[in-house]
Structure 1
Amino acid sequence: MDPCGEHFTIVSGAARAAVSEVGAGLRYFAVGDTLYTEPVPDGSRPPRGSGALLAPWPNRVAGGRWSWEGRAQQLALSEPEAGNAIHGLLRQSFWRPADQTDAAVTLTATVAPQNGWPQPVTVAVTYRVGDEGLTVETTATNEGSGPIPFGLGFHPYLRIGDTPTDDCTLTLAARAALPLTDQLPSGPLEPLSSSEFPLGGTTLDSAFGDCEPTDGLVRHRLTAPDGNGVELWADPAFGWVQVFTPSDMPQHGRAVAVEPMTCPPDALNSGTDLVRLEPGDRWTGSWGLRPLSGSY
């Protein structure tokens, strides 16, 4: 059995994508012969969190410890080498297909109450392809008897066909960087002198915030020297972004993850930009990918 379970492929015209049953992660997005995300190799687990959906919180929780409604919580340490909990509780879950058409698929999963997580929350995600590219809509519903915090992130690795990552430039909507020590916040936001990052020779594993919408959406762009590229757009609720540039991704070597997040690392402790869901409350947010031509 494939460790990612069934693969759900969606197609509309030249646009196509695939989603995994385990974790509901994005396996790839392409238009025609051009890949715009690093593909997850068949028969393997997503390397470096590739394409993962991060809920009910993104990034890290220091020591897996946090407090909610006056009660101490202790999560399993899913990043044991650093002693943290990381990227939520649904990456290894089987997601149930709720609906599928040629161009879209909806998957759902529920976080059960457990050590460190006191109330059930159901997450539904719809991936859709069309003329504008890829759209990802996520809804979280509090199924419990008490309030619960919620944060969301995704972990796509962007690419522009076969263009080497080091030849590309990343332009962020963020206006500030969040200082990190051992990948946890260590100070207040610091203004960025530039939001443009030529990736050649640049190594990042960094958190950024204060993302400014343009025409109502947060827009991050990866561009090639010829001006072609890909835009990651998101609702204004995705006011944070993590950027990671590993050098060992399968098939492509050096790569760049651009991770839209609704809250910063360790938000379960800081409370920064967490959504509070009362029993029965529902929250929805969207992001997507759009190919760019040299004339955008």
Structure 2
Amino acid sequence: MLIVTLRSSALKLDLAPSVGGAIAGFWHDDVALMRETPEQALRDGLVRQTSCYPLIPYSNRIAQGRFSFQGVEHRLALNFGDHPHSIHGNAWQKPWQVAAADDARCRFVFIHRPEDDEARGWPFAYRAEQLFELSQSGLMLTLSLENEDDRAMPAGLGLHPFFPKRPGIRLQFAAERVHPNGEDSLPLDSIPIPPEWSYQTMRELDEPRLDNCFSGWDGTARLAYVQEKIALSIEADPLFDHLVVYVPMGRDFFAVEPVSHMNDAINRPDPSHHGLKVLKPGERLTAQVRFGVETLS
């Protein structure tokens, strides 16, 4: 199994192209900035245990794996164990190819063709790329998605980074509203953000019982590992105006996910609200997320 390692000053990034195009680790010296991936998980191809993976060509859930687009009904594979919905697109479950790499820069490519059973993953042809650029101050990750079908296709982008939940971890981000989930794990109408889910001011992460999509995100978030004296900032392009925050109870990790649209957007009626895009044949969607690293005094 190929691991591509990038280095710049105190930063190190491990990439696992064959395991869903995932990040396998991100460190400042010996401090893990993202959740570390167990070696056995990499050998077994367990993408959900990696540090970060791409969400292409959509983020989060599509209800029952069904949607209608431009008058055509589509049914996707249920790709998340016994979960009743399709989730996170199909690129995270496929090997990616290394198109170019040097000491601090690497580009992955994934080409999807909806032939035979692959149409159940996604019914439209596309090309996706990830560009990883490591500098002494952080990581720039550029995602792109190009429609290579002869039809228009719905399109979204996102990242699913996991972070270690250490004692004293603090979080800050600002958004306008949040979508609570119903018992079926699908979003309800948005509501004002309740105090227990508000991180407008940086505070300890705690156990907020969060697995929800925030809308009107301003594109920035900040994590502070107080004991390790390391801060990690997230700065995303305006395309990423939604943020999924997942804090499982009693686990040693959490996720802060920049995404371009709300959960189950494809089955929602108002495109000005849900954020999903439509790409004509040959059109491309491109956006960047920067993970900045700084030491705290």
Q: Same fold (TM over 0.5)?
A: yes
SS at match of 2:267: helix
> What are the ranges of 5 or more consecutive residues in structure 2 without an aligned counterpart?
none
SS at match of 2:21: coil
- Tell me which amino acid in the other structure corresponds to 2:215: G
Report how far residue 234 of structure 1 moved: 0.8
> What are the ranges of 5 or more consecutive residues in structure 1 without an aligned counterpart?
213-217
Tell me if the contact between 2:22 and 2:50 (Cα under 8 Å) persists in the aligned partners: no
Structure 1 residue 51 corresponds to structure 2 residue 26: no
Counterpart residue number, 1:27: 24
User: Per the alignment, do residues 237 and 80 of structure 1 end up closer, same or farther by CA in structure 2, a change over 3 Å counting?
Assistant: same
Report how far residue 32 of structure 1 moved: 1.8
Give per-residue Cα distances to partners, 1:121-150, cap 9 Å, x unaligned.
Answer: 100101111022011001111111111111
> Which residue among 6, 10, 28 is the counterpart of 1:14?
10
> Which residue among 148, 153, 164 is the counterpart of 2:153?
148
Segment drifting more, 194-203 vs 14-23: 194-203
Counterpart residue number, 2:138: 133
Counterpart residue number, 1:277: 279
- Identical-residue share of aligned pairs (%): 28
Report how far residue 255 of structure 1 moved: 1.4
SS at match of 2:91: coil
- Tell me which amino acid in the other structure corresponds to 1:238: F
Segment drifting more, 138-147 vs 268-277: 268-277
User: Per the alignment, do residues 269 and 65 of structure 1 end up closer, same or farther by CA in structure 2, a change over 3 Å counting?
Assistant: same
Question: 5 Å matches for 1:27-176?
Answer: 27-44=24-41, 45-48=46-49, 50-113=51-114, 114-115=119-120, 117-159=122-164, 165-176=166-177
> Which residue among 249, 255, 258 is the counterpart of 1:257?
255
Counterpart residue number, 1:204: 210
Normalising by structure 2, report the TM-score.
Answer: 0.87
Counterpart residue number, 1:215: none
Tell me if the contact between 1:96 and 1:108 (Cα under 8 Å) persists in the aligned partners: yes
Tell me if the contact between 1:165 and 1:256 (Cα under 8 Å) persists in the aligned partners: no
Alpha-carbon distance in 2 for matches of 1:127, 1:57: 20
Normalising by structure 1, report the TM-score.
Answer: 0.87
Report how far residue 152 of structure 1 moved: 1.2
Give per-residue Cα distances to partners, 1:57-76, cap 9 Å, x unaligned.
Answer: 01001100111111111000
Alpha-carbon distance in 1 for matches of 2:121, 2:296: 48
Report how far residue 202 of structure 1 moved: 3.0
Give per-residue Cα distances to partners, 1:263-287, cap 9 Å, x unaligned.
Answer: 1110121242112111111121000
Q: What RMSD over aligned residues (CA atoms) do the two structures have, in Å?
A: 2.0
SS at match of 2:40: coil
Segment drifting more, 183-192 vs 146-155: 183-192
User: Which has a greater percent of helix?
Assistant: 2
- Tell me which amino acid in the other structure corresponds to 1:86: I
Alpha-carbon distance in 2 for matches of 1:80, 1:190: 33
- Tell me which amino acid in the other structure corresponds to 1:37: M
